[in-house]
Structure 1
Amino acid sequence: MNKTALLLMVLGLSYGMAIAQKATKTENIFLITVDGLRWQEFFKGADSLFVDDTGMIKDQGSLLPEFWHQDPLKRRQMLMPFTWSTLAEKGQLYGNRAFGNKADLRNDMLFSYPGYNEILTGAPDDERINSNAKTNNPNTTLLEHLQQMPEFEGKVMAFGSWDVFPYIINEERSGIPVNAGFDKAEGANLSPAEQMINRMQAEIRGPWGGVRLDPFTHHYAMEAIRKQAPRLVFIGYGEPDDWAHGNRYDEYLHSIKQFDSYLKELWEYIQTTPQYKDKTTMIITTDHGRGVEKRTWTGHGAGIPRSREVWIAAIGPDSPALGEVKQEAQVYTAMIARTVFQLLGLSYPEEKADDAIASILP
């Protein structure tokens, strides 16, 4: 029995019916990633080991009013209110290992470029994708496959906070416009908002050399979506991972809450725009996990336990409202690529890609 059939059985669905049903309502995909957000915070909110550690926050006690409650279900609502209202009520959330529901990476590198390659291509490639170097991806991403189709040509766009995304997506070969790192909005007809974002990005560079602050990524994406109405949008937010690497748990939590507000803005725009309303699926995930102890949480990789553990969420017209999936099951971020194509009613052209996450499908 293959993995798709097993997962369908776990979730009480009919394998035959799922395969027979090819018609979908999804016409557009918003694929959203956030770098290095642990499943522990996603499902349980602020970590009791870290939330008042003076070595990890600027002011002792400063996080408690905004992020702390004894009940982890309330803590997670405090941290990610949109996720634990709209997404939890109308979507699907995978990866709470307390229920035996596991979401994992297949690659053995367990850091960003290999993680994004796996999400975007449907398969790990540890032989060739084994560093974060700015080298063009030899693999073809799901974005590029769609860009090559007449109905999607010119309607695929990508945005990212990390300046390596143009190489992961292989902007040069694929022809997909990628606004990432410190790229500005370009063109002859920039909106006043884009002109202002360009100016502000030039004046506020943030604390990292290769990663801009997420507000710039988000608002560049929002303006482009409003102006050009793409059918496939990829947005890669980055702040949580970089704050974590700096051992700043306070800023890590603030960036997660900000990310959640961006998801809310994206979904509300989708649901109030005729081109997107009831025709768009949003899939959200992360590129890797990270350590769980004070000495390891700042890092991730093959040498740090739990770095393989991630989470996945989805919401859209073809995805049953399962909420937080509590059945024992195993999913992988590598399943996302084929899932995207099946939601669009298409066959994924890469045979090596993992199976789809069957429960996201109608």
Structure 2
Amino acid sequence: MNRLLMALALLLLAPAMAPAMARAEAPTADQRLILVTMDGTRWQEVFRGADKALVAEPKFTHPDWKETVEKAWDTGPGVMPFLHSLPAQGGVLHGNRDTGQCMRVTNPMWFSYPGYNELLTGRPDPAITTNDKTWNRNTTFLEWLNRRPGFAGKVRMYGTWDVFPYIINDKRSGVPVNGEAPGALPTETRTMRMAQDALRSAADMRVLYVALGDTDEFAHEGDYAQYLASMNRDDDFIAELWRMAQADPAWRGRTTLMVTTDHGRGARPGAYWTEHGSAAAWKLAPQDYTIADPEGFTGSDAIWFAAIGPGVHPAPQLPLKTACLTQSQIAASALAALGEDWRAFDAGAGAPLPFFAGR
């Protein structure tokens, strides 16, 4: 009931907030960024809500959860009310292929390490073909910023996966990465609290990256109700981060929030939603999959993106057949939102998304 009231309040407040957001100007000095990723979260649930076939299948949705799922999460706004409130506030939510929107990864693997590398560096790396703990040879935009005047020592990362220190290459980059934090609380809950504490106490921090992983964990387990519950919980967390930023004079009016995912999931009926990966990935390590599919898990290259903040603006609708935004554009978008020259980072990286055009 509390979540339903919260969603209704967001919808009622959105029209009043929209004009102020629509008049947002280009970033000024001391811009800040909050980037949140939700591992392996399909665009289908973000925009459509619960898949009725998966809810009806006891193998994926326990009968005790069926009624809750049907009542609360039968639509995209039901699962993620905060993200769906962003367009009315002057932000964007892109990737709904049902309406002709398209966004995808460009790396050939369609799983986590290659996805995070592409997202954070602006380029796919064909040499990254596993999720092994190997130090990333590529420079992320986080590392680049951490060496820039005004950003050194002001970039932090909190994640729920112990491979993140290697992806960020914390030893070389100097970016603090908590990886998988030990403790009595569930890993994702602990990560959320650590990130909130950092935002609350680190007044000089300028870039906060939070990587959440329960969505992917529950999906691989085939637990559809908990996968949806994780999405809903993540949406609450993201809303709270945004509220905290708007309540803090150091962050208010200077912060861009970005939310996205590292990869999608299989789109075929049945158990394919539990897996992800391309034909190339399957052929390299078929033993890693519970379903044999040499053709790869169709649709797991499809991703989505949400953002709000100074200078973020809706772009004209991009037809599916003529334009598809890419994961490789997110790094440049983050730098543009911070008022930095993305070409100085890597002129060969993907250009900023059209929501940041002219920056």
TM range (shorter): 0.7 to 0.9
Q: How many angstroms apart in 2 are the aligned matches of 1:53 and 1:326? A: 35
Question: Comparing both structures, which one devotes a greater share of its residues to helix?
Answer: 2
Tell me what 1:315 maps to.
308
Aligned position for 2:99: 99
Alpha-carbon distance in structure 2 between the residues aligned to 1:79 and 1:88: 17
Partner of 1:246: 221
Correspondence 1:49 to 2:53:
yes
Distance 1:344 1:182 in 2: 29
User: Post-superposition shift, 1:65?
Assistant: 3.7
Once the two structures are TM-superposed, the CA of residue 87 in structure 1 deviates from its matched residue by 5.1
CA–CA distance in 1 between the matches of 2:314 and 2:193?
Answer: 29
Contact 1:115 1:287 (C-alpha < 8 Å) held by counterparts: yes
Distance 1:86 1:356 in 2: 19
Assess if the C-alpha contact under 8 Å between 1:120 and 1:336 holds in 2: yes
Distance 1:102 1:86, change over 3 A: closer
Q: Which residue of 2 aligns with 1:36?
A: 40
The alpha-carbon distance between structure 1 residues 227 and 87, as it changes in their structure 2 partners (threshold 3 A), is: farther
CA contact (8 A) 2:86 2:92 kept: no
Partner SS for 2:63: coil
**1:88 to partner: Cα distance:** 4.9
Matched AA of 2:154: K
Q: Find the aligned partners of 1:225 and 1:48 in 2 and give their Cα distance.
A: 38
Residue 167 of structure 1: CA displacement? 0.6
- Structure 2 residue aligned with 1:27: 31
Unaligned runs of 5+ in 1: 1-21, 184-200, 207-211
Q: Counterpart amino acid of 1:47?
A: D
Contact 1:35 1:286 (C-alpha < 8 Å) held by counterparts: yes
Matched, 1:225 2:199: yes
RMSD of aligned alpha carbons: 1.9
Shift >6 Å, 4+ stretches:
none
Contact 1:27/1:344, CA 8 A, preserved across alignment: yes
Of 341, 348, 359, the match for 1:352: 348
CA–CA distance in structure 1, aligned partners of residues 90 and 355 of structure 2: 14
Distance 1:339 1:30, change over 3 A: same
Question: Structure 2 matches for 1:254-265, cutoff 5 A?
Answer: 254-265=229-240
The size of the alignment, in residue pairs, is: 309
For residue 231 of structure 1, what is the amino acid of its counterpart? Answer: R
Aligned counterpart for 2:273 among listed residues 297, 300, 324: 297
Q: Secondary structure at the match of 1:29?
A: strand
Does the residue aligned with 2:135 lie in a helix, a strand or coil? coil
Judge conservation of contact 2:86–2:307 (CA < 8 Å) in 1.
Answer: no
CA–CA separation in structure 2 for the residues paired with 1:34 and 1:356: 21
The reply to whether residue 64 of structure 1 matches residue 32 of structure 2 is no
Aligned residue in 2 for 1:284: 259
**1: distance between equivalents of 2:70 and 2:180?**
29
What CA deviation, in whole Å up to 9, does each residue of 1:176-229 have, x standing for no partner? Answer: 11112125xxxxxxxxxxxxxxxxx2x34x5xxxxx3x1111100110121113
What secondary structure is seen at the aligned counterpart in 1 of 2:340? coil
**Residues 54 and 224, structure 2, Cα contact 8 Å, conserved in 1:** yes
Q: Displacement, 1:255?
A: 0.4
The one-letter code sitting in structure 2 at the alignment partner of 1:283 is M
Q: Map of 1:146-185 to 2, 5 A cutoff?
A: 146-182=145-181
Please state how far the C-alpha of 1:244 moved relative to its aligned partner. 0.3
Could you tell me which runs of 5 or more consecutive residues in structure 2 were left unpaired when the two chains were aligned: 1-24, 279-295
Q: Is the 8 A contact 1:67 1:75 kept in 2?
A: no
- In the alignment, residue 94 of structure 2 is paired with which amino acid? Y
2:86/2:308 contact within 8 Å kept: no
Instruction: Return closer, same or farther for 1:56/1:316 CA change in 2, 3 Å cut-off.
Output: same
The Cα shift of 1:351 comes to: 2.4
Cα gap change, 1:321/1:278 in structure 2, threshold over 3 Å: closer, same or farther?
A: farther
Q: Secondary structure at 1:132's aligned position in 2?
A: coil
Deviation at 1:359, TM superposition (A): 2.2
1:63 aligned counterpart, secondary structure:
helix
Q: Which residue of 1 aligns with 2:189?
A: 215
Q: CA shift at 1:86, angstroms?
A: 3.9
Deviations, residues 156-183 of structure 1 (Å, cap 9, x unaligned): 0000011111110000001111112125
The CA deviation at 1:317 is 1.4
User: How far did residue 321 of structure 1 move?
Assistant: 5.1
Cα 1:67/1:267, change in 2 over 3 Å: farther
Give the TM-score, by structure 2 length: 0.82
Separation in 2, partners of 1:285, 1:346: 21
**Amino acid in structure 2 at the alignment position of 1:270:** A
Offset at 1:350?
A: 1.2
Q: Conserved in 2, the CA contact under 8 Å of 1:123 and 1:334?
A: yes
Per-residue deviation, 1:326: 4.5
Find the aligned partners of 1:353 and 1:86 in 2 and give their Cα distance: 27
Residues 28 and 88 of structure 1, relative CA distance in 2, 3 Å threshold: same
User: What displacement does 1:52 show?
Assistant: 2.5
Residue 331 of structure 2 is matched in structure 1 by 337
Asked whether the equivalents of residues 314 and 355 of structure 2 are also in contact (C-alpha less than 8 Å), the reply is no
CA offset at residue 83 of structure 1?
1.5
Query: Would the aligned equivalents of 1:107 and 1:118 in 2 still touch at CA under 8 Å?
Result: yes
Structure 1 pair 276–56 and aligned structure 2 pair: CA distance change class (3 A): same
How far 1:66 moved relative to its partner?
4.5
Following superposition, the deviation at residue 93 of structure 1 comes to 1.0
